[in-house]
Structure 1
Amino acid sequence: MSQVEDTAPQSLAELARRHGLRPAIARPRFPVYLRQLWQRRHFVLTYATSRNVSKYSGSALGQLWQVITPLLNAAIYYVMFGLILGGSRNIENYTAFLLTGMFVFTYTQRTVSAGARSISGNLSLIRALHFPRASLPLAYTIQELQQLVISMGVLVIIVLITGEPVTWFWLMIPVVLVLQTLFNIGAGLVLARLGAQLRDLNQLLPFIMRTWLYASGVFFAIHDKVVGTAGLPDWVATAMYLNPAASYIEWMRDILIGSHNPPQAVWLSCLVWAVVALVAGFWYFWRAEDRYGRG
């Protein structure tokens, strides 16, 4: 009798393999997984758009908060760092300088933070339906991209008001945003897996984001502050320039502000970070596909 009981599970497993049956939550091969994601692109876009519409539906100003929030943050930092602490003394067109840094950094900050909550905050959906789990971090990235489009329109108007002329370099704005979006997708996927496994990550993330903000030159010129004021070696400033958030900020400033001259390696840093983050992020997230929603 015990021999029959021992062989029954083996027989069932062999029968499943013979007929090509797999567990419902089994992780598909990576190319198949990417194809499944593409097949659900309409779901991802609709989910992102619906979240955007509902996010501010209960407030009187509605979608205007997408623009008001970064503007209020920029105004606070302008008063604190530009006026009180004198951060604007050696920076031409500090208004455009600061707003560009705030809008570009906010896009990455919000995307990464949302990605960290995308799995842990949607467990009921994950357990009820079968779909590629990467759809959720992707949807959150698209949601933040939709908000950025509005913010960038406001930024362009402000930059023009501050006296910056329209140049051919402005055609590179979509290129920077595409590369930044690719980086954000990869970073969001990494944080989504970490957020699903580490329960305390969402408590630590605000402190990590604040440190990243201060290290990315959002409201000060990196070289002048690090080398000129602090007296640190040049390699420290170079390392700060090459961190992904600072790279995308500096390249966007170089496009919008004529007097801004970042290191030439900034554009290469943006490209490398986009490719590495996207490939590594998808692979890292996919490796745990069959574990999301458990426990």
Structure 2
Amino acid sequence: MAPAALAARYGLAVSGARPSLRRYTAEVWRRRHFVSAHATAKLTATYSGSRLGQLWQVMTPLLNAAVYYLIFGLLFGSSRGVPNYIAYLCTGVFVYNFTQTSVLAGTKAIQGNLALVRALHFPRACLPLSITLSQLQQLLFSMAVLTAIVLARGEPLTPRWLLAVPALALQSVFNAGLAMALARLGAKVTDVSQLMPFILRTWMYFSGVFYDPRHLAGHFPHAVSAALEANPTVVYIALMRYALLDSVHRADLPPHLWTLAIGWALAAGIGGYLVFWRGEEEYGRG
């Protein structure tokens, strides 16, 4: 008798078979406390071996901002025509760093936790989700420093600051989707984690982190300029700058900004989740 027929006769099922999408989502939700605990533990362990510990959560983006200010703000003159450039730059660095670290860690979500994946049965989507949550926790910790910088540079506290909450929520969904999609790719092709830093560095140069994106868009045809303005990191950085900086006006922003932010979050969040779910049977094998 064929193995499939024997399995059907005795009610046997494939070990580790991919559940339905509805059941899989329910299992992920049931393990939300594991996701939260794993994210907190990972964040704590990341800097446990250094003398300054958790301070590196803040110092890393600040040091990056200082380097970019010296190179692009002073040497290349990117600060020309940008009011309150230091606050403008720091906001861009902190927001882009959130996406960058989520994507980098996401590519290693499966390969970096193979022992856990092979030892325990749980929805593997918990791993890239916990990574994104860990990076969000780190960003929220760093936001206290960013707030101090913005206020120290003379920006007033206005009701627009409340827009930072939905902006971060949408970016978190976008980051989680991207992390899940790349987690599946990274599980198949381990070299992706080596290539990703170069891709992210190139992406950063087109994201308006240390310059006004309108200055770059003005040198290209309309179609290219529109594509540059629709860049998801440009969108989320622009939203955060508009929320925190009174010197950034609505006219300075790309058109249909909130529509783009919601669209990118839904496309990446739903698409990344489906891509990851379809590979559930593959993780930890081989």
Q: Shorter-chain TM-score: which interval?
A: over 0.9
Deviation, 1:55, is 1.2
| Residues 1:232 and 2:226 are matched in the alignment | no
What is the CA–CA distance in structure 1 between the aligned matches of 2:190 and 2:61, rounded to whole Å? 28
| Residues 1:247 and 2:241 are matched in the alignment | no
The size of the alignment, in residue pairs, is 283
Q: Which amino acid aligns with 2:33?
A: H
Q: Which moved more, 1:180-189 or 1:117-126?
A: 117-126
Structure 2 equivalent of residue 100 of structure 1 = 91
Deviation, 1:199, is 2.1
Structure 1 equivalent of residue 158 of structure 2 = 167
What is the CA–CA distance in structure 1 between the aligned matches of 2:93 and 2:2, rounded to whole Å? 63
Q: Which amino acid aligns with 2:173?
A: L
* Preserved CA contact (<8 Å) 1:222 1:237: no
- CA gap of 1:234–1:96, structure 2 versus 1, over 3 A, is farther
What is the CA–CA distance in structure 2 between the aligned matches of 1:78 and 1:47, rounded to whole Å? 35
* Preserved CA contact (<8 Å) 2:35 2:129: yes
What's the TM-score, normalizing by structure 1?
Answer: 0.93
| Residues 1:13 and 2:4 are matched in the alignment | no
What is the CA–CA distance in structure 2 between the aligned matches of 1:88 and 1:145, rounded to whole Å? 28
- SS of 1:48's equivalent in the other structure is helix
Deviation, 1:123, is 1.2
The within-5 A match list for 1:1-295 is 7=1, 9-16=3-10, 19=11, 21-227=12-218, 231-260=219-248, 261-295=252-286
Which entry has the higher C-alpha Rg, 1 or 2?
A: 1
What is the CA–CA distance in structure 1 between the aligned matches of 2:143 and 2:194, rounded to whole Å? 30
What is the CA–CA distance in structure 1 between the aligned matches of 2:195 and 2:209, rounded to whole Å? 21
- CA gap of 1:175–1:288, structure 2 versus 1, over 3 A, is same
Deviation, 1:257, is 1.6
Q: Share of identical aligned residues, percent?
A: 50
Deviation, 1:268, is 1.1
Deviation, 1:59, is 1.2
Q: What's the CA shift string for 1:130-186, capped at 9, x where partnerless?
A: 110101001101110110001111111111111111111111111000000000110
Q: Which amino acid aligns with 2:6?
A: L
* Preserved CA contact (<8 Å) 1:49 1:143: yes
Q: What's the CA shift string for 1:217-267, capped at 9, x where partnerless?
A: 10111112331xxx3223323211211111000111111122322123122
Deviation, 1:10, is 4.8
* Preserved CA contact (<8 Å) 1:115 1:189: yes
* Preserved CA contact (<8 Å) 2:217 2:228: no
* Preserved CA contact (<8 Å) 2:108 2:183: yes
* Preserved CA contact (<8 Å) 1:159 1:256: yes
Q: Which amino acid aligns with 1:15?
A: R
Please list every run of 5 or more consecutive structure 1 residues that lacks an aligned counterpart in the other structure. Answer: 1-6
- SS of 2:103's equivalent in the other structure is helix
- SS of 2:108's equivalent in the other structure is helix
What is the CA–CA distance in structure 1 between the aligned matches of 2:85 and 2:124, rounded to whole Å? 42
